[in-house]
Amino acid sequence: MQGDRAMGEGLLMVMKAAGTVLVLAAGTGAGWVVAQGYARRPVELRALRQALATLRAEILYRSSSLTEAWAEVARRSPAPVTALFQEASERLGTDRAGTAMVAWEAGLKRLAEESSLFPEDLEILRHLGQALGASGREEQERVLALADQELASAEEIARAEREKNARLWQYLGFALGAAVVLLLV
């Protein structure tokens, strides 16, 4: 009887220890995921700006059609930026009744799913999409420059936030896990 109780308490201790580790790991992990988002965002914004520079060259110097220009940018861009241009290019090439804006929106949806970009970053791209292909070279140059400018300031803010928030969220995750453990124990 005594042996059974000791064994039960031992098992409980083991389970508590395992639970503590799990909760701490989950908290740290959650913090790490959020922190990674902050770390990835400026990198993705920089990749987006490079993609727009390629798009600018395709539009202004090669006069490629939008489908071809997007496909070329998709080919040259890293993930997840490539998803935006690949989806948009495929959509515009196959959907005969579709518009460039609809294709671009589909690309943005995929980008939102696959990237750590914030809604305000996507909004800059949405504005750009409304003008892409719909006007002459001068106007295209202007809207691309404007989008680049906006993405550059978003990138700057994202870098500052990364410095500030990435480590904070890592600590916060661990601390949250520890708080939960203390509450439960």
Partner 1 sequence: MFGWTPILSAILSVLPPRVCTWLERYQARMSEAAGDLEEIRLRAERPVQLVSARREGFLTEAGELVHDAAGAPALRAEEIVETARRASRHSVYAFEEELRQGFLTLPGGHRVGLVGRCVVEGGRVRTIDPVSGLNFRLHRQVTGPARPLLPHLASPFPPYVYSTLIISPPGAGKTTLLRDLARLLSDGEGWGPGAIPPRKIVVVDERSEIAGCWLGVPQLSVGSRTDVLDRCPKAEGIMMALRGMAPDVVVTDEIGRPEDLLALEEAQNAGVAVLATAHGVSWEEVISRPALRDLRDYPYFDRVVLLSRRQGPGTVERIFRPESCAASGSGPRAGRARPPAGRGRSSPSRPSIHMP
Encoded one letter per residue, x for contact with partner 1 by CB under 8 A and - for no contact, window 9-48 reads ----------------------------------------
| Residue closer to partner 1 (CB basis): 127 or 164 | 127
- DSSP letter (8 states) at residue 134: S
| Residue closer to partner 1 (CB basis): 34 or 59 | 59
As a three-state string, the secondary structure of 73-99 is HHHHCCCCHHHHHHHHHHHHHHCCCCC
Task: Kindly identify the residues of this chain, within the stretch 78-97, that bind partner 1 according to CB under 8 A.
Answer: 92, 96-97
Stretch that binds partner 1, among 24-32, 58-66, 79-87, 105-113 (CB under 8 A): 58-66
As a three-state string, the secondary structure of 32-82 is HHHHHHHHHHHHHHHHHHHHHHHHHHHHHCCCCCHHHHHHHHHHHCCCCHH
> How many beta carbons lie within 10 A of that of residue 155, not counting itself?
19
Indicate whether 60 belongs to the interface with partner 1 (CB under 8 A).
yes
Indicate whether 144 belongs to the interface with partner 1 (CB under 8 A).
no
Centroid of chain to Cα 90: 21
What are the residues binding partner 1 (CB under 8 A)? 59-60, 63-67, 69, 92, 96-97, 99-100, 133-137, 139-140
